[in-house]
Each structure stands twice: as C-alpha cells, then as structure tokens.
Amino acid sequence: MSTINRKQFIQAGAALAAAALTPPALFAFSADRKIKVAVIGCGSVSNMYLPHLSKVPQVELVATCDIIPERARAAAEKYQIARHYDHIDKLLQGVSFDLLVNLTDMQVHGDLNKKALLGGRNVWSEKPMANTYAEGRALLDLARQQGVRIWGAPAVVNSPQFAFMAKTIQEGKIGKVAAAHAHYGHLGPHWSAFFYEKGGGSLPDLGVYNLATLTGLLGPAKSVMAMTSIVTPERTVDNMGKIKVEAEDNAMVLMDHGNGVLSHVQCGFNYFDPYGHEGEGQDKPTISIWGSRGNLCLIGYDWAPFGVDLATLENEKTVRHAADPGTYVWEQGASVISESLSTNTEPRINVEHALHVLEIIEAARASQESGKRIVLRSSFSYPLF
C-alpha cells in the first residue's frame, strides 16, 4: 500500500467533492490497485501501445484480441500476455478485466466500445470513439448507466508544450487572442483500407489532433465551416489491393471559438512530408497562435512536440520554451487512464472534449455537403489549466 502525497491528497479531496457528478467506477478501485487491461486490435498502433502499457507498474495486461487470430496470438506471445481471443464476445466472456483498450479500425470503434460498456468494462478508445456525435454521446450515457467510464484519444493535452501554451494564453501573455492555424498531413497509411472507406478519412485520423489542440487552447468551438475533397480517388493498400477512396483525404476547417477568436485546421493524406509517418525530426511550427501582445508557435507536431516559440511585445526576439519532453508520448493515453483508475484521480483527458472534437468532424462534413456554417451543440469544461 503506497502513501499519498499532498498533491494526491488534494486531488482525492477534489474528486470526492465531484463525486455526485462522477460515475462510480472511478471510486471502485482502492488506491494504486493494478488495472487489468485487455487490448483489442493488434495492428500497427498496438506496436506503440503495448510496449508502453507493458512498462506501467499499475497495468496488468491480461488479454489481446483481433479478428485476425494470428495477430492476437503473436502480440500475446511477444508481451507475455496470458490470453488471446479472435472475437470481442469471447474476450468479454473469457476473462475478467477493468479496461478495454480499443485499437481497431475506426468504423467499428462505436460497436465494440458499446459491447465493452454493456459488459461492465471501462474503455479507452482510439479516435474516433464512435462514428457520429450522437453515437458517441449515447456511449457516454451508457457508461454512466453502467457505472463505468469511457475516454477517447488523442492525448495531446498531456504534453508539456500544450501546458505551456495553455498557461501562456490564460495568463494573458499574448494579449487578446485573435487567430490560430494548425496543420498535419502525410501521404496516407498504406496498410489498411479503412482509413479511406466511409467513416475513415483524414479528419478523424489526422485533423483530430489539431482540433483537440486548438479547442483545448482556445475553448470549445461555437460553429464550423469547412471544405473537404478527395484528391486521390483510388489507392493501393496492403490488405485490400486497389480500392476506391470514399472519405475525404483533404480538409480545411474554420472554427469560431466565440469572443472573436477564429482558427483554422488543415489536414490530408496527400501532403509530401519529409518527416514521414512517424514525424521524425519535424522541427517546424505546425501550430501558430496570434494575439495582440504576442505569438506562440508549437514546434513539431502537436502529438510529438519539441518546444514552443514565443515572441511578445516586451520581448520581440523569439525565445524557445518547453523543450523538455518530460514523460509525454502520444501513445500514453491508455496508460494515463490506467494510472488514473488505479490512483482514483481524474485525468486531464476529458471525454466531453473528445465528443466535442467528434461533433466538429461531423459538422465539417455537413458544412461541405450543405455549403453552410454549422452551429455546434457540444462543449466541455474550459480552460483545461
């Protein structure tokens, strides 16, 4: 049994104060209990998640699952995980666990997350947590009924660079914020067709990071206007050969955050990117925020940032801040959630924020369809710091 420090004590007090609003599952675990984790979807991204999860002291990996049985078996063997399954129903019936980590194709996240919640499991879902905002909202309602929790990727709000930018804005150091831009793109994944099928697309795969960052920094969006397109109508992918591209592979999204603040996100699967899919060595700004007294530029991608450049009225020469990565890595989402469940603390990653980003993605597509500005319903607690 570990002792708790002052910070944890204060957090526990705050958590208790919020107990009336918080589903009971967060309190179902005694302090620092091991969290039993099952991973569903043993493809590309599991090669990042599993090594990270396997090193977290509060995590016990108990099972893997994939509809391609060989993948589940190989992952279980590699990480010495006792059980592996080829179907979620067998997984849910076969082994007791606390948290499902969903790393499957985007289109099946909603269905699998629902099954896990109905089975009384907490869920960490890769993005998007559902195919539509309504489906995502229903999942959250279901989680509350079931007394469990659900969270959705990404984990960008956990980086020290995000924290620096959020605090700099909140402290008024860049004055009144007016505008922001973010971009992320590469030539598109080559291994699986789902990225290009209906329900896939560059918005939920790539734009999702920038949308989470800009709404996290500037506040929930009130409305959205967007244009999307398909630049490459046919692709060849490893698992299906030649396919027709049905989801947008090019997107421009404008957001109105209220109080006059406007921002822009562009993403796509047709960007020549000298830094490759892994973004290795990307040292240029991908996010810029302009205020009346200063400008902030995030260096590198928001999911793997290297620092923040700040220039202000008082100090016009740009200075680099927050160059230390700390413990943040983009694949930490499920690990952070496991630690939160284990220690009864509330993570910064917030499901209402993930749902808001999902609604923005849906609204961007509706704006493209209709040519109109789309007013949003969702919001989340802001500021995050």
**Residues at the contact surface with ligand NAD, assessed by CB under 6 A:** 40-45, 65-68, 71, 88, 103-106, 108, 112, 126-127, 191-192, 205
Q: Which residue is nearest to ligand NAD (CB)?
A: 43
Instruction: Provide, rounded to whole angstroms, the least separation between the CB of residue 41 and ligand NAD.
Output: 3
State the greatest distance between any 2 C-alpha atoms of the chain, in Å, as a whole number: 62
Instruction: Provide, rounded to whole angstroms, the least separation between the CB of residue 192 and ligand NAD.
Output: 3
The residue among 188 and 347 lying less far from ligand NAD, judged by its C-beta, is 188
Spatial separation of the C-alpha atoms in residues 30 and 44, rounded to whole Å: 34
With beta carbons less than 8 A apart as the criterion, state whether 310 and 294 touch.
yes
Instruction: Provide, rounded to whole angstroms, the least separation between the CB of residue 16 and ligand NAD.
Output: 34
With beta carbons less than 8 A apart as the criterion, state whether 100 and 121 touch.
yes
Nearest by Cα to 312 from 292, 288, 286:
292
Nearest by Cα to 111 from 197, 202, 41, 53:
41
The residue among 98 and 105 lying less far from ligand NAD, judged by its C-beta, is 105
Nearest by Cα to 288 from 258, 265, 260, 259:
265
With beta carbons less than 8 A apart as the criterion, state whether 88 and 112 touch.
yes
The residue among 169 and 354 lying less far from ligand NAD, judged by its C-beta, is 354
Nearest by Cα to 42 from 77, 82, 93:
77
Instruction: Provide, rounded to whole angstroms, the least separation between the CB of residue 106 and ligand NAD.
Output: 5
Spatial separation of the C-alpha atoms in residues 276 and 20, rounded to whole Å: 46
Instruction: Provide, rounded to whole angstroms, the least separation between the CB of residue 102 and ligand NAD.
Output: 8
The residue among 66 and 339 lying less far from ligand NAD, judged by its C-beta, is 66
Residue whose tokens read 């995502």: 136
Instruction: Provide, rounded to whole angstroms, the least separation between the CB of residue 199 and ligand NAD.
Output: 10
The residue among 27 and 191 lying less far from ligand NAD, judged by its C-beta, is 191
The residue among 113 and 215 lying less far from ligand NAD, judged by its C-beta, is 113
Which tokens in the block code for residue 132? 């539509």
Instruction: Provide, rounded to whole angstroms, the least separation between the CB of residue 207 and ligand NAD.
Output: 11
The residue among 235 and 257 lying less far from ligand NAD, judged by its C-beta, is 235
Question: Which helix or strand (DSSP H or E) is residue 78 part of?
Answer: helix 69-78
Spatial separation of the C-alpha atoms in residues 176 and 156, rounded to whole Å: 24
